[in-house]
Amino acid sequence: MQEAIISKAKQLLADGTVNRVIGWKKGEFAYDITPAIFESAEEIDADFVYDDFTSANVSKYLVKESKKEGKVLAFLKPCDTYSLNQLTKEHRVKRENIYVVGIPSDGKLDAEKIKAKGITGITGVEKDGDTLKISTIYGEETMPVAEAMSNKCLSCKSKKHVTYDELIGEDGEVIDSNRFGMVEELENMTSQERYDFWRNELSKCIRCNACRNVCPACTCENCVFDNPDSGVQNKAAADSFEENMFHIIRAFHVAGRCTDCGECSRVCPQNIPLHLLNRKFIKDINSLYGEYQAGADTTSRAPLNDYTQDDCEASIVHERGVE
């Protein structure tokens, strides 16, 4: 895949379709692949990487990149195309300045899951059927691919690209991956159990804001959490109220716009399952206002920008079973 992507990038640069490419390059370790801009074939040859650790969704970078001179080339996985569509719909990107090449994805790996098996000093990985071959500075190790798969890929919602100018490989289908399973489990707990669960999770938050910064739906020029008068600007929460507030408001602001790309949970250094909050909103929206997938198109009205006269009353929440 890496060769195909690199040659496509060089070709589009050479024939002038685009004047830069947004891709990825290696970070300090083999598994911390970071987004990067490339402007020439030489730069691509030197640094461009695309492998099983390349999970970063580059669509958010297009907010800034698409406003610059000339076209930019972006390689998008199926889930990333939903983010781009949503940004296009919200007029946050200039779609005409972006050349999208859709690339297939068979799931990305989570280095933390590999390290949790006691495997360290990772220098590279290779999928061999269901087995993952891991080379480390201490020699070769193996483990099942499924156990190293990142959570966001385990609950993949679609292998279909919803926007692209060109595809590498075959397009896939929307799939059903039981992504609401964990939300349901929580819903079936008692209120006290849910409270304890979230206290335990949210109290780990260090307010690094990574979840907000990475989120393709969070593109406000002035974020409420950067307001110096709010008392919550970039600081560790002083108590449980602030933790709850940050998480409720962050999730609420993207309700109906969150494409469930999973980036927020992926980048959280504290491994807080943030996407469960977003998924709760998605699940509620689906069940109360009709199935809706943000980013699936560029014309539909977002559920919170819409209403019908016979929507349910808020009391529906109070009438639910299980307390």
Residue 299 contact partner, candidates another protein, ligand SF4, none, CB within 5 to 8 A by sort of partner? none
Quote helix, strand, coil % in the chain, to nearest 5: 40, 15, 50
Location of structure tokens 């991956």: 177
Binding string, residues 191-210; x marks residues near ligand SF4 by CB under 6 A = --------------xxxxxx
Which strand (E) or helix (H) includes residue 211? helix 210-214
Give the residue, chosen from 14, 116, 175, 317, that forms a contact with another protein under the rule CB under 8 A.
Answer: 317
The answer to whether residue 236 forms part of the interface with another protein (CB under 8 A) is no
Distance CA 135, CA 142 (A): 9
The answer to whether residue 261 forms part of the interface with ligand SF4 (CB under 6 A) is yes
Give the residue, chosen from 46, 174, 193, 269, that forms a contact with another protein under the rule CB under 8 A.
Answer: 193
3-state secondary structure of 22: strand
Residue 238 contact partner, candidates ligand SF4, another protein, none, CB within 5 to 8 A by sort of partner? another protein
Binding positions for another protein, 265-294, rule CB under 8 A: 277, 280-281, 284-285, 288-289
Q: What is the CA radius of gyration of the chain?
A: 21
| Residue nearer to ligand SF4 on the CB measure, 132 or 294 | 294
Residue 304 contact partner, candidates another protein, ligand SF4, none, CB within 5 to 8 A by sort of partner? another protein
Q: How many CB atoms lie within 10 A of CB 270?
A: 14
The answer to whether residue 89 forms part of the interface with ligand SF4 (CB under 6 A) is no
314 backbone φψ class: left, alpha, beta (φ>0; ψ -120 to 50): alpha
The answer to whether residue 194 forms part of the interface with another protein (CB under 8 A) is yes
Distance CA 298, CA 163 (A): 10
What does DSSP assign to residue 61? Answer: G
Tell me the sheet residues that pair with 167. Answer: 102
The answer to whether residue 244 forms part of the interface with another protein (CB under 8 A) is yes
**Residues that bind another protein in the complex, under the rule CB under 8 A:** 186-187, 191-199, 224, 238-242, 244-245, 247-249, 251-252, 255, 277, 280-281, 284-285, 288-289, 303-309, 311-318, 320, 323
